[in-house]
Amino acid sequence: MLTLKNLLKNDRNLQIIATYGFSQHILYICEVALENETHHLHTSVEYIFERLAAFILPVRTLRYEKEFFVCV
Mean pLDDT value of segment 1-5: 65
CB burial string 8-22: b at 16+ within 10 A, e below:
beeeebbeebeeeeb
Q: Residue ranges of the domains in the chain?
A: 2-71
pLDDT digits (tens, 9 = 90+) for 41-67: 888 888 888 888 887 766 555 555 445
pLDDT at 1 over 70: no
Residue 7 pLDDT class (50, 70, 90 cuts):
confident
